[in-house]
Amino acid sequence: MSDLAVYGLKDKVAIVTGGSAGIGKGIALEMAKAGASVVVAARNSERVETSVNEIKAMGNRALKVVADVTKREEVDSLIQQTLQEFNTIDILVNNVGGILGVKGGRPFLEASEDFWDGILDVNLKSTFLCSKAFVKLAIDQKKKGCIVNMSSLSDRAPYVSVAGYGVAKAGITNLTATMAVELGKYNIRVNAVAPARIETSLSTGLYRDMPEIRQAQLKSIPLGRFGTPEDVGRVVVFLASEAAGYISGATIVISGGLTHLF
């Protein structure tokens, strides 16, 4: 393998959950640019189709899977559909997650049990279910594997009115390290990325009526700009590549320097 080839994903098969929009779509597209065949899994059939078509337009192989990865049976189906198409899986990106949005937050004392459970399910439970299915397959196939989880800067900083989100992301950061320790003997690497403020159509919409909050956030970032889905995608590609072959258990912060102001 040439020096530059270790940074690519040629001949690799990657699953990206939540790969139909926002950060997830950015990851899926960057993985395709790096040479991977990409399985885009999400609940919105139309948006999954759009992402898959964009990847195919690059000349890469791609597979559409409509799935709710908070449900074990749908995770199992995702794995089986991927195997039917590609025979193997090398990389899992657990990107599914999120919150109800700035306007959908709940102060701690007002948060319902359903609100709490919903946030933990979509962020933390989905990561657990998908990782377990992927790891079982990798061990059965006796091949090395790579998992990249989606944490957040809120794993270490207070996230007011959405306590469950910070708790879930802190859980993902801890789970990442725990899996790395337990799975190293199987040659399975597990890492995470922790983005801060990333510009997506969803986040733009959330702040459209609150420009003062958006401007205050922008001023707090040392690099002077919000991140992009491509910024996150390129870090994920690196972590999934052979260039990161001795990195496991790490959580890479993608914040434009914001972390160091805490």
Q: Which residues are catalytic?
A: 165
Among the listed residues 238, 252, 233, the one whose alpha carbon sits nearest the alpha carbon of residue 7: 238
Q: Tokens 């996150």 appear where?
A: 232
The contacts found for 86-89 with CB under 8 angstroms, 24 or more apart, are 86/13, 86/37, 86/39, 86/61, 88/13, 88/141, 88/143, 89/13, 89/14, 89/15, 89/39, 89/134, 89/137, 89/138, 89/145
Q: What is the dihedral of CA 20, 163, 116, 108, to 10 degrees?
A: -140
User: Within a 10 A sphere around the Cβ of 1, how many other Cβ atoms?
Assistant: 8
How far is residue 38's CA from residue 100's CA, in Å, rounded to a whole number? 27
- The DSSP H or E segment spanning 188 is strand 188-195
Contact 235, 194 (CB under 8 A): no
